[in-house]
Amino acid sequence: MHIRLLLAAAIVALLAGCAAPRHSQPDGTRLSYPGPFSPSAPQPGAQRPAPIADLAINLQGQCAQVEADGFRERATLRLRDSRVETLSWELQVGRRGSCRFEQADFEQTRSRPHIELLARDGSGCKLMIWRDNRRITLAHAECAARCSPGIYENAWPVMFDPVSGGCARP
């Protein structure tokens, strides 16, 4: 009987050693394990990269393209340290009409976590610029008055490649 109890205890102890490791210690500090699926923990003294929204946006952008459906856009955007230096954007929705945005008509109201410009005429038209890992996007909101009637819903944002400054693909 003692041998069976000792054998059962040894099996339980062996299985307990094979259990999945905890990701944190009782005091809440995270453990680090080698391997591709282990939780990552920063090395002591190592700096973590800043989140992309906290980084300044810099761009010398020029995007001009024509889509097969007749949608065209021509945009120039120059940013230095998340400050708009140049902005000119015209988009054409086939033969139905166009929208136009010029820097002189807007005032920059924020630079982080994204850039915002508000129309000086009090219309509520807002331009927004943000960056992700693949592109810098220039978009608009509440700007139907700056477009030909009936096309605002088809006026899409323009996207720039952050490296080349040219047009980026969605």
57: left (phi over 0), alpha (psi -120 to 50) or beta: beta
30 within a domain of the structure (yes/no): no
Q: Is the pLDDT of residue 102 over 90?
A: yes
Could you tell me if residue 2 is inside a domain? no
Quickly tell me which residue has 């009090």 as its tokens.
122
* Residue 155 maps to a domain: yes
Contact present, 152 and 99 (Cβ < 8 Å) = yes
Q: Report if residue 10 sits inside a domain.
A: no
Task: Quote the number of domains for the chain.
Answer: 1
Residue 65, in any domain of the structure: yes
- In three-state secondary structure terms, 141 is strand
Do the domain assignments include residue 135? yes
Residue 139 CB: number of other CB atoms within 10 A? Answer: 16
Stronger pLDDT, 113 or 50, i.e. the higher one: 113
pTM: 0.69
Are 160 and 57 contacting, i.e. CB atoms less than 8 angstroms apart?
no
* Residue 146 belongs to some domain of the structure: yes
The 10s digit of each residue's pLDDT in 16-43 is 444 444 444 444 444 443 434 434 445 5
12 — pLDDT class (breaks 50, 70, 90): very low
Class of residue 59 by CB neighbours under 10 A (exposed 0-12, middle 13-18, buried 19+): buried
Bigger pLDDT: 165 or 48? 165
Q: Is the pLDDT of residue 84 over 90?
A: yes
Enclosing domain of residue 138: 56-160
Distance of CA 67 to the CA centre of its chain: 24
Mean pLDDT score across all residues of the chain = 79
pLDDT at position 115 is 97
Does residue 139 lie in a domain region?
A: yes
